[in-house]
Structure 1
Amino acid sequence: MSDTPINIGFGNMVMAERVISIVSSDSAPTKRLIQEARERKMLIDVTNGRKTRSIILSDSDHVLLSAIQPETVAQRVSNQQDQEESTS
């Protein structure tokens, strides 16, 4: 599997292979997750000051905040995986 960058907003990219989960930022548990990641210095905010719409959890224990809807990010990851499978 090759390193495949996925755009998570405003020119910021994450490797699709590193993404564990993509969740909405609406619930209290996800707000705690953000706070805990901030305290551990593992939070990466790529919202450019906009409202956080999705939270991306990586295999390196980093938590990324994105202003893009979770469904959109998930679709980009899925499309990239489909492209890789068709070229294999």
Structure 2
Amino acid sequence: MKLINIGFGNMISADRLIAIVSPESAPIKRTIQEARDRNMLIDATYGRRTRAVIIMDSDHVVLSAILPETISGRMDSRSTEEEKIDV
């Protein structure tokens, strides 16, 4: 199981990840509100501005204060490290 750091020591499973999106669009804001209403929202921002919204396959929505590009880069660096180990 690969874990990705989403900031402040919080980790998510890379295997359960569906999408990492920016929180500015209206459909994503609706998705966040719907997840909050269903008690499926996990706020990992520690009171900071939300910069990434992570959609999980379990219908959980995770808010992060880290940029989507940074989270994606952390995921890519994990996969290249594993490829080096497998060789």
> When the two structures are aligned, how many residues end up with a matched partner?
86
The TM-score with structure 1 as length reference comes to 0.92
The secondary structure found in structure 2 opposite 1:30 is helix
1:70 matched residue in structure 2: 68
1:56 matched residue in structure 2: 54
The Cα shift of 1:76 comes to 0.6
Provide the aligned C-alpha RMSD in A.
Answer: 0.9
2:33 matched residue in structure 1: 35
The Cα shift of 1:86 comes to 2.5
How high is the sequence identity, in percent, across the aligned residues? 58
2:83 matched residue in structure 1: 85
The TM-score with structure 2 as length reference comes to 0.93
The secondary structure found in structure 2 opposite 1:44 is strand
The secondary structure found in structure 2 opposite 1:64 is strand
Distance 2:67 2:58 in 1: 22
Q: Which moved more, 1:40-49 or 1:78-87?
A: 78-87
The Cα shift of 1:85 comes to 2.3
The secondary structure found in structure 1 opposite 2:42 is strand
Distance 1:83 1:40 in 2: 37
- Alpha-carbon deviations, 1:38-84, whole Å to 9, x = none? 11111000000000000001111110000000000011111112222
